[in-house]
Structure 1
């Protein structure tokens, strides 16, 4: 059997799985996005009413802007925290045993459900919660802070808590591949710690940073349950818009919004991939 044919046969099972569980559902969503709907029925059609309604509604632009705001702020905070944690594990912890132990410690929150970890912030941030009680007892504030919970602050806090590890792992993997001889050579050449960080470590970590960015960006842009719980249903993102349409059985409208979200995510990922070749990390 020719080698090329053997390669096709070996790739066929995975290709079929991807086609059945990834490509086919996306195609179905695109098809349904052109269908029509009334208050009591959905009918197959090929019309642009759903997209026309989305592009003409100011709510769409507000919700997408809110989604991008959450995504950017969460990305910036997870990058800062993730890079710091990864740097500490890779360069400050000297033994492999402690690196593994501390890395596993970072994964402990993932032993529980995302929803449980998320709603655990509610009694902590509430008006009568632990945070306000502590600040009042210390005399830092005179009355409870209302913006700690059911606000953009609580939403972003939950996002950072849930998704920071997705930034830590790829950056840590990149840092562990850095030859320490390069750092020693830079230090022998008179480079300061700041110069080594920004001119040696950060450039070599770009693939890991980009992979973490893609993870965090796609997860935040597609999330809806976090925004719903942590904002007290007072804020909205694209995921919540889709969820609301589905709860009202408006599947064509939800599909059209999902297609727009998918296109937005693909554009963002495409721009990111033009900046760094992540194949070096794979």
Structure 2
């Protein structure tokens, strides 16, 4: 009787666990798996039957935009990593409590601002007659005739870096704060300077967390629509803007689905690189 009672208790426990995760699984299936499956199927649906016409058309029309997207998101990811390391490193190795407190108070603000608000603010700030150029002209640092607009690929990079750096820096700073201080103090006592401490002691130990933050930021930036639409109103542009254009202008869901599948493949490559590196580190 005892084994039977134990088996029934385990069954009830398993059923209770399934009941707890069922709502989350249902949400994933309804709002992710079903639309994803429909989009993938839609890529290969054409007027003449199943085929690759939508993918061929997507590459023919938007290959430059695909390259542009990868370059912009890759550059933004690299800059986010640099600034996150700098912020987390100063929190870990800095010796000015007031500067640390001020930086801690300021750098988190962009986390609570949506991308659409970020894009609108930067449209005002980076325009030819925007706040940045007007301030530089008023202080005599810029000739009015030399003022130029940054509402192009540079504006997109600024928006992505400004918005995503606090998210990654928060993760990196936490990982750096958990490092054993004894190793840092030992290296400092041996004469290691701050930059050497940062890149040879601190960053290698926080690298897994940094990689997680950068991959999440890469995926997030690949999916943003408001920033390229509001800042870079010219060609080339990002894939998300192309998807919106194909749907709104032509109701061409086949090519839009193809562009979405290509975006998924790009983010999948980034995720694969991260997972492969993680498996190698565990080995």
TM-score (norm: length of structure 1) = 0.83
Task: Name the structure 1 match of 2:54.
Answer: 50
Judge conservation of contact 2:54–2:258 (CA < 8 Å) in 1: yes
Shifted more, 85-94 versus 4-13: the winner is 4-13
Per-residue Cα deviation, 1:68-110 (whole angstroms, up to 9, x for no partner): 1101211122112122112223343788x99788545433334
The one of 30, 34, 50 aligned to 2:40? 30
Is 1:19 the counterpart of 2:34? The answer is no
Is 1:64 the counterpart of 2:66? The answer is yes
Question: Cα distance 1:11–1:128, how it changes in 2: closer, same or farther (>3 A)?
Answer: closer
Per-residue Cα deviation, 1:125-178 (whole angstroms, up to 9, x for no partner): 2222232233334153351422x3322212211121222122212211211211
Task: Name the structure 2 match of 1:73.
Answer: 75
Deviation at 1:113, TM superposition (A): 3.5
Deviation at 1:67, TM superposition (A): 0.4
Counterparts of 1:27 and 1:239, CA distance in 2: 19
Q: As a proportion of its length, which structure holds more helix?
A: 2
Structure 2: tracts of 5 or more residues without a match: 1-8
Question: Cα distance 1:99–1:279, how it changes in 2: closer, same or farther (>3 A)?
Answer: farther
- Give the total of aligned pairs: 270
Deviation at 1:264, TM superposition (A): 1.4
Task: Name the structure 2 match of 1:129.
Answer: 130
Per-residue Cα deviation, 1:232-277 (whole angstroms, up to 9, x for no partner): 3444111111111111211121111101110111112111222235
Judge conservation of contact 2:92–2:177 (CA < 8 Å) in 1: yes
RMSD between aligned alpha carbons? 3.0
Is 1:253 the counterpart of 2:263? The answer is no
Q: State the secondary structure of the residue aligned to 1:178.
A: coil
TM-score (norm: length of structure 2) = 0.83
Question: Cα distance 1:149–1:234, how it changes in 2: closer, same or farther (>3 A)?
Answer: farther
Counterparts of 1:123 and 1:233, CA distance in 2: 17
Question: Cα distance 1:174–1:70, how it changes in 2: closer, same or farther (>3 A)?
Answer: same
- Tell me which structure has the larger Cα radius of gyration: 2
Question: Cα distance 1:250–1:278, how it changes in 2: closer, same or farther (>3 A)?
Answer: farther
Task: Name the structure 2 match of 1:40.
Answer: none
Judge conservation of contact 1:136–1:144 (CA < 8 Å) in 2: no
Is 1:140 the counterpart of 2:150? The answer is no
Deviation at 1:213, TM superposition (A): 1.0
Deviation at 1:214, TM superposition (A): 0.7
Task: Name the structure 2 match of 1:2.
Answer: 10
Per-residue Cα deviation, 1:41-60 (whole angstroms, up to 9, x for no partner): xx9x43222123234x1x43
Task: Name the structure 1 match of 2:231.
Answer: 230
